[in-house]
Amino acid sequence: MKIGMVLYPTFGGSGVVGTELGKALAAKGHEVHFITYSQPVRLGSFRENIFYHEVAVSDYPLFDFQPYETELASKMVDVVKYEKLDVLHVHYAIPHASAAFMATQILKSQGINIPFVTTLHGTDITLVGRDPSFEPVITFCINQSDAVTAVSESLKASTYEHFQITREIHVIPNFIVPSEENEDFSKHMRNKYACEGERIVCHVSNFRKVKRVEDVLLVFAKVNKEIPSKLILVGDGPDRYHCERLCRELDLCDKVIFLGKLRNTAQVLEIADVFLLPSETESFGLAALEAMAVGVPVISSNTGGIPEVNIHGFSGYLSNVGDVENMAKNMISLLQPDQLPTFKVNAKERARVFDLEKILPMYEKIYSDLIKN
Ligand code: GMT
């Protein structure tokens, strides 16, 4: 199949899922054309069956706001026509689904029929999408998509709850791509960041309010009083400044390492003992799954799709949003030498439910069913 993949090229989960999906489809022999405004962070180098079409964003002085959606739709028309694509797959409803609707209507007027699949990732529904300034467009575009997928049962339910949706939503969870561990490198990095006997707590996010990164520090402060440990924070975003300040207030600067944005988070996760995800809401929690995949158990909030991923008492623990006391208590218990090895094994086992080879055929089926019709 020839697939057009439209996504945000940034560090966000939807971009990661779209990019890894495209790479996996290309490795299976499908031709994948990425369409977005800059090179997706996880796309990497020269690979078979992968093509990247950049949407140029114009800076005409008349525009106070650049018309990205219009330029994206035009690029989609062009790529579908000249690369003879079979299907378009757009990740994140805003503005990708509306651009896809526009592009497919233009193509239809030229005698070309191409279906489009919309994948809902979370904040396009649970946060931004509910804003009345987006809602009518989102509802319309979801209903006009030829197929709709959501990354968890929880996201599917909240989409039906908050929008007037008339079509079926298929749940296709996030997945993990196996990575090769370099044990020597991991050992070296672990020794660099933690002394003998210290535990490593890790958090990866875009430091947006919804991630509650300040809770990460509050939990860590409590754990650190009981267990010698270090906290590694990966990512960057609007709340980083507050977190750096809180870190100073809590007198934790020598225990907390802010690494900033990283393309390959697996290498950091491999040196961690526990992952902390206290989000306000999370449609799936790809960051937690990526930690579990390398044998790192998860202390998380019990919200959105997270309980579909992290199993309480097995791969980690779940607490109510904001209950830093309970999260710290759970982490202290999980980090005990007689508990941690079992949780590590369980985390890896749980992550296998989301192996790429189980999830990829679900997307392929959606595409081939649409193309057949
Ligand atoms: O988590 C983010 O802020 C990024 C966001 C995105 O849309 O790129 O991630 C969302 O999509 C991921 C991939 O499907 C999910 O694993 C994340 O849970 C989801 N984030 C939220 O719901 C907050």
Per-residue pLDDT 10s for the chain (373 aa) are: 999 999 999 878 899 999 999 999 999 999 999 999 999 988 877 889 999 999 998 887 788 888 899 999 999 999 999 999 999 999 998 899 999 999 999 999 999 999 999 999 988 787 676 778 888 999 999 999 999 999 999 999 999 998 999 999 999 999 999 888 888 999 999 999 999 999 999 999 999 999 999 999 999 999 999 999 999 999 999 999 999 999 999 999 999 999 999 988 999 999 999 999 999 999 999 999 999 999 999 999 999 999 999 999 999 999 999 999 999 999 999 999 999 999 999 999 999 999 999 999 999 999 999 999 8
Regarding whether 360 and 349 lie in a shared domain, the answer is no
Regarding whether 137 and 91 lie in a shared domain, the answer is yes
Are β-strands 199-204 and 169-171 bridged in parallel, bridged antiparallel, or unpaired?
unpaired
Regarding whether 12 and 128 lie in a shared domain, the answer is yes
For residue 117, give the amino acid letter: V
pLDDT score of 129 = 65
Alpha-carbon gap, residue 308 to 298, rounded angstroms: 13
pLDDT score of 45 = 77
Regarding whether 133 and 231 lie in a shared domain, the answer is no
**Ligand 1: which atom is nearest the Cα of residue 305?**
18
**Ligand 1: which atom is nearest the Cα of residue 119?**
14
Question: Is residue 232 within 8 Å of 217, Cβ to Cβ?
Answer: no
Regarding whether 209 and 159 lie in a shared domain, the answer is no
Task: Specify the CATH number for the domain of residue 227.
Answer: 3.40.50.2000
pLDDT score of 62 = 82
Question: By residue range, what is the domain housing residue 304?
Answer: 183-353
pLDDT score of 234 = 97
Regarding whether 367 and 308 lie in a shared domain, the answer is no
Strand partners, 199: 229
Give the count of domains, the chain.
Answer: 2
Regarding whether 228 and 140 lie in a shared domain, the answer is no
pLDDT score of 44 = 78
Alpha-carbon gap, residue 365 to 165, rounded angstroms: 22
Question: Is residue 366 within 8 Å of 149, Cβ to Cβ?
Answer: yes
Regarding whether 318 and 305 lie in a shared domain, the answer is yes
From the list 305, 253, 313, the residue with the least C-alpha distance to 279 is: 305
Regarding whether 197 and 339 lie in a shared domain, the answer is yes
Question: Is residue 301 within 8 Å of 282, Cβ to Cβ?
Answer: yes
Regarding whether 98 and 53 lie in a shared domain, the answer is yes
Whole-number Å distance, alpha carbon 190 to ligand 1 midpoint, is 28
Regarding whether 148 and 7 lie in a shared domain, the answer is yes
pLDDT score of 121 = 95
Regarding whether 85 and 210 lie in a shared domain, the answer is no
With a 6 Å cutoff on the Cβ, whether 285 touches ligand 1 is: yes
Whole-number Å distance, alpha carbon 352 to ligand 1 midpoint, is 20
Whole-number Å distance, alpha carbon 338 to ligand 1 midpoint, is 33
148 in helix, strand or coil?
Answer: strand
121 in helix, strand or coil?
Answer: coil
Dmax (CA) of the chain: 68
The answer to whether the pTM exceeds 0.75 is yes
